Structure 1
Amino acid sequence: MTITDLFTSAIRLREGGLVQAEQRRMSGADADVGWHVAAFHVETDADVHADHWEMHPESEEAVCVLAGGVRLFVRAPGDDAADPDADEGPVVLGPGAVYIVPRGRWHRLEVDEPSDLMSIGLRAGTRLARRVEGMGAA
């Protein structure tokens, strides 16, 4: 029997029903293969790269709050918005809450208090874009 620390490892759900615990990585030969389940302890906005928008073109993403509280910002559909940091306002997430970020939608988090989060999604094609300073702030 093997016990894995979800806060330091990732779980990969692969074709054929295979579930693997592995080291977290953002790149490599098969880093984009299969669904990823990862948990994070966060205390500051820097821990959730609040200064960047993130987008997953290949899947929706489940953002789950296990403990604590965060605000999730989702940008309006389309990359050609006049204000690249315009968002639909924060979604406030507390313990036990999950928000399904639609496929291809830019999103970011801000931390309200130390939190334990879990994300579930495909990483293939994930993109990051730096926020424009002074725009789109809550």
Structure 2
Amino acid sequence: MITPNLSNKVERADNVITIQNDLCLSRYAKEQDIEYLVEFTEEKSAKNFTERPQFQKLDRAERQRLYISKAIKDGIAASNKRSGRKLGQFDKLTPELKADIQAYLHDRSIKQVDLMKKYGISRNTLKKYIESEQKH
């Protein structure tokens, strides 16, 4: 609560009032429709810096940035585990292609190029499929 002495000092324009907590003054100024200028003087020490609102905003932003970065990394790691195909998996090895590879292995008149074009696979993929069929 503002004392009557403070009320008299506020109404006169030539006085400067130094206060530590401006809540009381701001409440009084709102009630009385008074425009005022509050000058904050803070020590420039490291221990006081942690109490300043600027530091708290920086700290909050830094923690938010770290949280977002961690969430992105966790999401990427989880998606790599859930999706994608296993290395060496035979995606295009259909029963028809298996039959044609068996025919190729028994009858060398069939060309690899014809099999590659027919099934839309690369030469290395076809070689991998042929090697897997030879092992079986």
Same fold (TM over 0.5): no
Larger radius of gyration: 2
Q: Which has the higher helix share?
A: 2
Band of TM-score, shorter chain: under 0.3
Q: Which has the higher contact order (CA 8 A, sep 6+)?
A: 1
Question: Normalising by structure 2, what TM-score?
Answer: 0.24
